[in-house]
Structure 1
Amino acid sequence: MGENVNLKRKLGVWAALAIAVGTTIGSGIFVSSSQVAGAAGTPKASIIAWIIGGLLIIPQMMVMAELATAYPENGSGYVYLKKAGSKPLAFLYGWATFWATDPPSISIMALAVVSYLAFFIPGMGGLTGKIVGVAIVILLTVLHYRSVKSGGFFQVLITAAKIVPFAIVIVLGLIYMKIGNLGYTPTQNAIPLGAGIWAGISATSWSYTGMSAVCYMSGEFKKPERTLPIALIGSSIIVTILYTLISVSIYGLMPFQSLIKSATPIADALKYIPGFSNIGSSFVAVAAIIVIIGSLSSCIMYQPRMEHAMAKDNLFFKVFGHTNERYETPDWSILLQVAYAIILIFTSNLVSLLGYFTLVLNIMNILVYGSIIFCRKKSDYKPTYKCPAWIIMMAISVFGSALMAWGTFKWAPIQGLLCALLVVATGLPAYFYWNNKNKKVINNNQVNQKL
């Protein structure tokens, strides 16, 4: 019975913004400030890199907003590639996302929360830490399993909470910064400004990913024609402003040479604020726990929607398409994805290995942005939001994803290519199996109708 129950539109614009912003702002920002600084070479180049990196995301969200309002249904890139006319590519997108990206991200974040809890609670390592990580995942799973509205409300609260510590850092940083720190220029081996900005933009790209997660749940938002563009474009603007202000604050507080070498730039920068020298690390640990739990909650909420949509098309395991009649949530898709993530928590080496699949997903994202070319030719393509100068915006979007793909390829070229081959080698047989099965059902139905 649950296979024929559809998910309802229960979420509003605040929940959509919370999912987009909450997914994007994760643990990476706690270390990326020094990574961007090291790549850019100067505070000026670093700040410009954060700004341009964020501006490159806005065209991507504009393209996604047009696609999402044209097809306001769950599934994100799977739906857009399918509508563009390539079911095999659409399937491979969902196949790779499930096995190599979405559940592993739950595992990684659960373990990250535990690592920060260990700052306050000794003995959080090893098996004990993994059990605590599993417990956190299960608690959030129960929340999102039982109610999408309660899950959305929690997401709004936790996203608001995760912005508070950053706002404190920004305000205090702007008050106590030393302008001279922002004017630092190395006397030897200086990186040319243009080259530094380019390198810095590449280093910011990972921190800006996650806003399009809201498209996984396009079919569950009220007034999608309004909600989706606000969430996608609004989140890109909010995160860009937030990251830029954080970088200005940190670069102004801390000597740049020390910042580049720092593994914990925010915690180290807080030591330059009166009254924070002894509590900086504790403050960052608390902030990180809140931030990561927000991202973890968001992932558990939105990720199962893609496989649910695929299963509804009979292009994934049938059980994933079940909808709980009482709670009106994709129950089995949630439970099975979380179960896979829990298995990965106990196999952390495998989680690291799955990171090599990032190249595949970056390439798939290029195809998703490019799908707008083919979708615009379809008779059912009637978006309520139209991306301005869409060809240019699409080209910028593709460029941004290509930049990330290139960075991933340089990091692990052989591993990335092998993972791409593995996705194709396992995904295409699975696709043809389900697709042929669907054709047989259609043919049998046609024969029965004639009889």
Structure 2
Amino acid sequence: MEENQPQEMKRALGLLDGTMLVAGSMIGSGIFIVSADIARNVGSAGWLILVWVLTGLITLTAALSYGELSGIFPKAGGQYVYLREAYGKLVAFLYGWGLFAIIQTGTIAAVGVAFAKFTAYVFPIFGEENILFQILELKVSAAQILGILSIVFLTWLNSRGVKNGKFIQTFLTIIKILSLVGLIVAGLIFAFDGDVWNANWANAWQAGRWTQDPQAFVTVAGMAVFAGVVSAMVGSLFSSDAWNNVTFIAGEMKNPARNIGLSLFFGTLIVTVAYVLMNLMYVATLPMNEIASAQNDRVAVASALKIFGSEGALIIAVMIMISTFGCNNGLILSGARVYYTMAKDGLFFKKAGELNQFEVPSWGLWIQCIWASALCLSGKYGDLLDYVVMAVLVFYILTIAGIFILRKKRPDLKRTYKAFGYPVLPALYILTATTICIGLLVYKTTYTWPGLLIILLGIPIYYIMNRSKS
């Protein structure tokens, strides 16, 4: 390592920056879209809102539990470090492997192309149908190229120092939160339809599902209700994911033992409230059958057309452009910090463990950029994201179970903050998330086994790496 190379990251992020990173990483394009699929799976307004409330409570409980771990280990790498300390290097590596293979990079790719898709509303030249060139069976569209360019630009920006990334993140997150508030207020006050609202709540707890062709409501009961809720939560959980990214940048947070936990709480609370209110706005402006059958699942566009008229689609497109761009900035900024810590442990490319002259792990940023860009071109990143729903939940369960393990194994550790409601709430989270995982295994096999196989593929890679080091 060169003598003039920075040895440590610069602590330049405060509580506001951390909170905006949590909220900004969570709010992407999901809240504008996934309620259509949720409505199709659960059928009625009460169940739709319950799915979002349950998702919010699960997320808040997990975030509050992570606060204890962030206080004990205020280091770069966050969740990777927590898993390493509780279970050892193999489990931590499997998490880091999954993060690089698809969880973080696949999300970056999907959000990048979502940014391009909605940019095409404003500038049609960037549409998916505009095929720029073809190599054998691979067709490359203008949307894919714009998605890649946005990823490259944000990677370059973040490679120039953490202050650049934090400014973009804080500014864009404040803009999109204010935009969401504006849309919610406009829908609930100026476009509130009493007849639609009353009709939606008349049979609020009649469980069922909406078929699309032909459109009809089918009543369900018993285990079919559970299957519908579990299926619906695939979308809401992913829309509420990435809150843990703030733990990755603990090495650059001022007073991380305090500010990481508070950032997790405030950020997840803001997003949870916003998501529930957004869905109440949908229910106030659209009949349930229109929510379930929204064109291309764009529920927010359908509501905005009711609120703003013909300009509604353009307004939502601009909101999603801002939202996805800011979301990707947070994902790109934080992901490389995990690879940095893995490299320090000898479990990733050695260069990823070095800082550039701006005190950031630029090599990790650029290799993340390259792989995310490749996923943009593959056209399969959306499928892969669906596959890791359960894998993400499994690592959340393991991390929160790590609180119990570390309290027993290392009671001497200084705990500046203890998990809220311990042991009841962390145990309740583990029970709830495990129940959802079992439901996914039974009712959504397409979304589970491939994701587990991707993660388990890391086991031989781990042992090959250790053998080569020996």
Give distance in 2, aligned partners of 1:334 and 1:110: 15
Query: Which contiguous aligned blocks of 4+ residues in structure 1 show a shift greater than 6 angstroms?
Result: none
Q: CA deviation at 1:433?
A: 4.2
Shift of the 255–144 alpha-carbon distance from structure 1 to 2, 3 Å rule, reads: same
- 1:431 paired residue number: 462
Deviations 1:343-370 (A, max 9, x none): 2222113553464244333222221111
Query: What is the distance in 1 between the residues matched to 2:54 and 2:451?
Result: 31
Find 2:178's aligned residue among 146, 160, 164. Answer: 164
With the length of structure 2 as denominator, give the TM-score of the two structures. 0.85
Which residue number corresponds to residue 392 of structure 1? 424
Residue 232 of structure 1 pairs with residue 264 of structure 2:
yes
The question of whether the paired residues in 2 share the 8 Å contact of 1:344 and 1:351 is answered with no
**Alpha-carbon distance in structure 2 between the residues aligned to 1:202 and 1:344:** 21
Measured in 2, the distance between the counterparts of 1:355 and 1:393 equals 28
Aligned counterparts of 1:201 and 1:352: Cα–Cα separation in 2: 17
Aligned to 2:306, the other structure's residue is in SS state coil
Q: Hey, what does 2:143 align to over in structure 1?
A: 129
Does 2:298 correspond to 1:298? no
Distance in 1 of aligned mates of 2:259 and 2:222? 39
Q: Give the number of aligned pairs.
A: 435
2:84 aligned residue: 82
Kept in 2: contact 1:57–1:400 (CA 8 A): no
Structure 2 equivalent of residue 267 of structure 1 = 301
* Ranges in structure 2 where 5+ consecutive residues have no aligned partner: 132-140, 207-216
Deviation at 1:193, TM superposition (A): 11
More divergent stretch after superposition (372-381 vs 278-287): 372-381
1:103-252 pair list within 5 angstroms = 103-124=105-126, 125=128, 126=131, 127-175=141-189, 176-183=191-198, 184=200, 185=202, 189-190=218-219, 195=225, 198=229, 204-252=236-284
Q: Is the 8 A contact 1:356 1:412 kept in 2?
A: no
| Segment of structure 1 superposing worse, 190-199 or 249-258 | 190-199
Cα distance in 2 between the residues matched to 1:402 and 1:95: 22
Match of 1:254 in 2: 286
How far off its partner does 1:279 sit? Answer: 0.5
Q: Deviations over 1:229-272 (max 9, x none)?
A: 21111112111111111111111111222222112211111222
Quote the residue 1:23 is aligned against.
25
CA distance in 1, matches of 2:54, 2:390: 22
Counterpart CA distance in 2 for 1:322 and 1:25 is: 30
Match of 1:370 among 401, 424, 431: 401
Distance (Å, rounded) in 2 between the aligned partners of 1:235 and 1:192: 36
The whole-number CA distance in structure 2 between the counterparts of 1:421 and 1:128 is: 32
State the distance in 1 between where 2:276 and 2:450 align: 36
Give 1:142 shift: 1.4
**Pick aligned residue for 1:343 from 366, 371, 374:** 374
Q: Does the Cα contact within 8 Å between 1:20 and 1:232 map onto a contact in 2?
A: yes
Structure 2 partner of 1:417:
449
CA contact (8 A) 2:30 2:235 kept: no
TM-score when normalising by structure 1: 0.89
Counterpart-to-counterpart distance in 2, 1:282 and 1:299:
26
Report the residue type matching 1:299 in the other structure: L
Work out the CA distance in 1 between the residues paired with 2:251 and 2:94: 21
Residues 71, 383 of structure 1: 8 Å contact kept: no
The two structures, once aligned, show a CA RMSD in angstroms of 2.6
Deviations along 1:280-314, one digit per CA (max 9) or x if unpaired, are: 11111111101110111111100111111010111
Q: 1:52 to 1:408 in 2, by over 3 A?
A: closer
Amino acid paired to 1:234 = F
Find the aligned partners of 1:108 and 1:122 in 2 and give their Cα distance.
Answer: 19
- Cα contact 2:43–2:288 (8 A) shared by 1: no
Higher mean alpha-carbon deviation, 413-422 vs 85-94, is at: 413-422
Q: CA deviation at 1:405?
A: 3.2
CA 1:347–1:85 in structure 2 vs 1: closer, same or farther (change >3 Å)? Answer: closer
- The 2-side partners of 1:314 and 1:379 are apart by 28
Instruction: For residue 26 of structure 1, give the secondary structure of its aligned residue in structure 2.
Output: coil
Secondary structure of the equivalent of 2:48?
A: helix
In the superposition, relative to structure 1, how do residues 134 and 76 fare at CA in structure 2: closer, same or farther (>3 Å)?
Answer: same
1:277-296 paired onto structure 2 within 5 Å: 277-296=309-328
- Go from structure 1 to structure 2 and tell me whether the alpha carbon gap of 1:107 and 1:189 turns closer, same or farther (over 3 Å shift): closer
Q: In the alignment, which of 420, 434, 439 is matched to residue 402 of structure 1?
A: 434
Q: Using the TM superposition, give the Cα deviation of residue 15 of structure 1 relative to its aligned residue in structure 2, in angstroms.
A: 1.0
**After superposition, where does 1:63-74 map in structure 2 within 5 Å?**
63-74=65-76
Structure 1 residue 413 displacement after superposition: 2.3
Identity %: 27
Pairwise CA distance, 1:400? 4.3
Shift of 1:437: 6.3
Q: What is the Cα deviation at residue 219 of structure 1? A: 1.7
Aligned to 2:124, the other structure's residue is in SS state coil
Whether the 8 Å CA contact 2:106–2:384 is kept in 1: the answer is no
Matched, 1:94 2:96: yes
Per the TM alignment, residue 206 of structure 1 is displaced from its structure 2 partner at its CA by 2.4
Higher strand fraction (1 or 2): 2
- Runs of at least 5 residues in structure 1 that lack an aligned partner in the other structure: 441-451
Q: Is the 8 A contact 1:23 1:298 kept in 2?
A: yes
